Structures are given as structure tokens and as C-alpha cells.
Amino acid sequence: MQDTENIEIVVATKADIGVATAILEEAADWAASKGLDLWQNKDFERVLAPAVERDELYLAKVNGQAAGTFILQWADEFFWGNWLDDAGYIHKVAVRREFAGKNIGGYILDWAECKVAQQGRPYLRLDCQSHNPTINSYYQKAGFVFQGYNADDRWGWNLYQKEVLK
């Protein structure tokens, strides 16, 4: 288990896009080695550059080294439609393999929950591939509750939310 005192979450800059991309590519490659196609579109810069512009891309650093990345945004029409402004939406959560099993992902989720609550929004929401039982179980064990299903011609996503303000 990781000593959480050594983890720091920082807002990523344009200079960090390469690092975040490398983390996401590593996670996607690892998932592919397990028979899972983790992300539909691996053109990560297409998603990361706008997230940086909005200060929504983050790095999780352990002793100053980038160990993980994620996006925390304040609207998500693609997956959730025009819901009320009552949530934060977390995407592209990934952790470098050398940090796997050290609860970096759990720390990221906890941090995002606190950030969303600080904004006065009662929910943290996410989507994940419906055909990946491991990631669905992970989010369920983290307290996320299934809210529905969204699909296009090729992919299906389960929608989850967790109440962060009670």
C-alpha cells in the first residue's frame, strides 16, 4: 500500500501532456495485453489539450514522479447529456504499472470526491466500459452506484455516480 503522504495531485500544464499521454498509452497497452481495448480513441492529445486549457487535467505524483493522470471536468454531455450542474465527472484515470497495487487510483478517486464536494456539487460521476468486469467491480467497491447505460454503434459504457455531499 502506498504511503499517501507522498502523493500530490497537481494541475497539469501543456508541458505535461506528453507525460499524461505516456501514462494513458502504458495503461492502454497493459489492458490490451489482458485482452481489453481500454479506450476507443487513443488520440489522447485530442482530449488532453482542451482539458489542459480548462485546468481539468491532473497528474498524481509520488515523491515528485508522475504516477498517474486523470481529467476532472464539470460537465459531460457526451455520456450524461444535459444533467443539472450537480456533479464533477472523472475520466481517463490511469496509473503507471510501476505504481500498480499501491492505491494510487483510490487516492485519485478520494481526491476527486473532495474536490467535487468543495465545489458544492453532490456527485462524482464516471463512465467505464460495460464489457470490462474488473473495472466495473473496482468502481462499485469504491462506492459508485450504477446509474444507467450509454452506447454508440461499437461501444457500451456503464454510468456510475457516488454521492460526495450528504
Using one digit for the tens of pLDDT, what is the confidence trace for 81-113?
877 789 999 999 999 999 999 999 999 999 999
Q: What ranges do the domains of the chain cover?
A: 4-124
**What does the DSSP assignment read for 54-76?**
TT-EEEEEETTEEEEEEEEES--
pTM, two decimal places = 0.92
**What does the DSSP assignment read for 85-148?**
S-EEEEEEEEE-GGGTTSSHHHHHHHHHHHHHHHTT--EEEEEEETT-HHHHHHHHHTT-EEEE
Cell of 136: 466495473
Residue 155, number of CB atoms within 10 A of its CB: 13
Fold entry, domain 4-124: Aminopeptidase (3.40.630)
pLDDT tens, position by position, 113-150: 999 999 999 999 999 988 888 899 999 999 999 999 98
Contacts of 49 (CB under 8 A, 6+ apart): 14, 17
**Of residues 87, 86, 54, 83, the one with CA closest to residue 71:** 54
pLDDT at 40 over 70: no
Q: Please classify residue 2 by burial: count the beta carbons closer than 10 Å to its beta carbon, then call 0-12 exposed, 13-18 middle and 19+ buried.
A: middle
